[in-house]
Amino acid sequence: MGRYFLERVGAALPTLFLLTFVCFLLTTAARGDPAREALRQGGQEPTEEAVEAYRQQLGLNDPLPIRYGRWLVGLTQGDLGKSFLTARTVSEVLGERIVPTLWLGLTSFAVTSVVGVGLGVLFGLRAGSRFDEIGRAISLLLAAVPSFWLALLLVTFVSEKARLLPVAGYGGLQYLVLPVVALSCGPAAGLMRITRSAVIEVWRQDYVRTARAKGLVQQIVVLRHALPNALLPVVTLLGLRFGQLLAGAIVIESIFSWPGMGTALIQAISGRDLPVIGAYVLLAGVAFILVNLLTDLSYALLDPRVRLGAREGSRL
């Protein structure tokens, strides 16, 4: 297991390095002059002298390799640069918003996993029944509905007309319900369909039939024999769904006025605040790499053949 872990980490390091280089290029390849835009956003006249002084202050006139090296050194020290618009450090701009984003993202991911896998197992065990047909129809509808459109429906009918939950804001659980529902319904529906198909396939295998023929309780057969093998494709999809949740959170945070990194990203895009944009892409990419690393490790825990295959491949 230790060798397999080191191999997965080693495979992730080149991707991480490429991610840092791409994020740095994003801050330099965008159209427009960030110094001129920052002066304009600050209410100053972007004269040539003022623009040149501001570019010199931010180090924008240095050669690309020097700027990339300085950016990497600062990155190892937690320095993500300074915002072009506010002159604050990017770490401060995103640091004060990372907790709401994590709260929303992790809650949505947990709801997606529990609801998607749980309903998928139930529908898979009752495949072909009326209950299964209704569930498939509802899941297909939810999977086809964009998260932002579902969010607008929830705002209109649940908040404005029924007045059951607040329409926007950040605070207790009542503010979290609607964003989580809007963000997790689509991914949970897709996960449920994949889990259902995997359970149906595993349920027909000989070893599951043998366990059932021995008279074992159905819950034991599902938990010990069917579910561990059915989770292999599900775990793969969970890693991809995490990236989908990160992308959808940007729009959902704006709709519900959620003070997370998504709203900061939209403000940075509108103002061409390139350091904030690059830092957000970097943080989202690192989170996605870590989740996929955990996904690979989950393979080894669920299926010992993955560890054995990696060990035999290293011997060859």
Domains (range + CATH), the chain: 2-83 (no CATH), 98-272 (1.10.3720.10)
Q: Between 135 and 295, where is the model more confident?
A: 135
- Tokens in use for 122? 């139930």
Nearest-angstrom CA–CA distance, 30 and 84: 14
Spatial CA neighbour of 75 closest among 286, 290, 245: 286
pLDDT digits (tens, 9 = 90+) for 283-310: 888 888 888 888 877 777 766 665 555 5
Q: Between 114 and 29, where is the model more confident?
A: 114
pLDDT digits (tens, 9 = 90+) for 82-111: 787 777 888 888 888 888 888 998 899 899
pLDDT at 182: 92
Contact 191, 239 (CB under 8 A): no
- Alpha helix segments (H runs only) across the chain: 2-29, 34-41, 48-58, 64-76, 90-95, 98-125, 130-144, 147-154, 177-203, 206-213, 218-220, 227-255, 261-270, 274-302, 304-315
pLDDT at 305: 61
Span of 29-33, 155-159, 303-307 with lowest mean pLDDT:
29-33
pLDDT at 157: 92
Q: Between 64 and 183, where is the model more confident?
A: 183
Q: Between 115 and 62, where is the model more confident?
A: 115
**CB burial class (10 A; 0-12, 13-18, 19+) of residue 313?**
exposed
Please list, in sequence order, all residues whose beta carbon lies within 8 angstroms of the beta carbon of residue 211, skipping any fewer than 6 positions away: 220, 221, 224, 225
pLDDT at 105: 87
pLDDT at 316: 46
